[in-house]
Amino acid sequence: MDKVSKASSGKFKETFMYILFLIAACASILSVALICIFLFQRGIPAIAEIGAGEFLGGTRWKPLQNLFGIFPMIIGSIYVTAGAIIVGVPIGILSAVFLAKFCPPKLYGIIKPAVDLMAGIPSIVYGFFGLVVIVPIMQNLFGGSGKNMLTASILLGIMILPTIINVSESALRAVPEQYYEGSLALGATPERSAFAVVLPAAKSGVLAGVILGVGRAIGETMAVVMIAGNQAVVPDSLLDGVRTMTANIVLEMGYASDLHQDALIATGVVLLVFILIINLCFSLLKRKES
């Protein structure tokens, strides 16, 4: 009888946890669905009223004249995100390899908490850091205000490092140690074993870290607002000021109304589609390589 009671209790707990996890998963899906419904319900009619060609391809953003062309903001977001990838991805992956395979335990005890701390620093603090450190350096090197696309790319590259490092390190540590030891036994150097055997074996997790980093870069707002220059024009060089889609929304949503407000919400729709496209491309790349 006691065994039957324990079995019944265990089955009840299993069923309860199953229902709890199912509710949590459904709540997550419902939240995303509600956000998408809100954005598309307000954004699509605005795009239709303005005109898809004028909205996506227009180069002038002048709400007082009913001109809502977000092409400069689209280009600014792409350029800044690409710059952040160039800066952050190589450093992040190399740092993860070092932490996973070559870092001495005492040094690891210092570096790992520092990386975790970087992940918890608010965006506004990163923005202040860029404003008082990176911007003056850019002023001394290139002149001008120092608030430009290059400055924003460097800062975003720094901001995405914790995400890439943590996820990539976890993926590298998940690779069976026999892979690394077998490569060493065959005569490969520790560096070659790490980069030619362990890193390719962990490419799925590393790619996931890159995707998360890119998502943060393209969705970052406050830090970019503070150092990017916020010029709603198509940049001609790395030293030109840019305005990203997120910056455009946060700068004007506080006082926008009517069509202006709907145009900003439509900008959020375009940003959401961009993120979905990026995730889809990485997923296809991951499937092709696997």
- Could you report the per-residue pLDDT of 33-91, keeping only the tens digit for each? 998 888 888 889 889 888 888 898 888 888 888 888 899 999 999 999 999 999 999 99
What tokens appear for 252 in the block? Answer: 């004007």
Q: 284 and 250 in one domain?
A: yes
The pLDDT value given to residue 170: 92
Q: 170 and 30 in one domain?
A: no
- The CATH number for 193's domain is 1.10.3720.10
Q: Please, what is the Cα angle at 113 between 109 and 117, to 5 degrees?
A: 165
Share of the chain above pLDDT 90, in %: 33
Give the range with max mean pLDDT: 6-15, 158-167, 182-191, 236-245.
158-167
Q: 136 and 28 in one domain?
A: no
Is the residue at 176 inside a domain?
A: yes
Is the residue at 63 inside a domain?
A: no
pLDDT above 90 for 220: no
Share of the chain above pLDDT 70, in %: 95
Q: 112 and 18 in one domain?
A: no
Is the residue at 59 inside a domain?
A: no
Q: 129 and 266 in one domain?
A: yes
The pLDDT value given to residue 230: 85
Burial class (CB in 10 A: 0-12, 13-18, 19+), 2: exposed
Q: 35 and 173 in one domain?
A: no
What tokens appear for 207 in the block? Answer: 């790619």
Is the residue at 55 inside a domain?
A: no
Q: 161 and 86 in one domain?
A: yes
**Total domains present in the chain:** 2
The pLDDT value given to residue 5: 62
pLDDT above 70 for 7: no
Is the residue at 285 inside a domain?
A: yes
Which residues on adjacent β-strands are paired with residue 68?
61
Q: Name 156's Cβ contacts closer than 8 Å, sequence gap at least 6.
A: 80, 81, 83, 84, 87, 88, 217, 220, 223, 224
Q: Name 149's Cβ contacts closer than 8 Å, sequence gap at least 6.
A: 76, 79, 80, 83, 228, 229, 235, 237, 238, 239, 240, 241, 242
pLDDT band of residue 153 (cuts 50, 70, 90) is very high
* Domain membership of residue 20 as a residue range: 2-50
How many helices (H) and strands (E) would you count in the chain? Answer: 15, 2
Q: Which amino acid is at 210?
A: V
Backbone phi, then psi, for 109, in 5-degree steps? -65, -15
CA-wise closest residue to 78 among 56, 46, 52, 101? 56
The pLDDT value given to residue 165: 94
Is the residue at 186 inside a domain?
A: yes
CA-wise closest residue to 80 among 221, 242, 212? 242
Is the residue at 57 inside a domain?
A: no
Is the residue at 60 inside a domain?
A: no
Answer whether 134's CB lies under 8 Å from 198's CB.
no
pTM, 2 dp: 0.84
Regarding predicted confidence, which is higher, 169 or 222?
Answer: 169
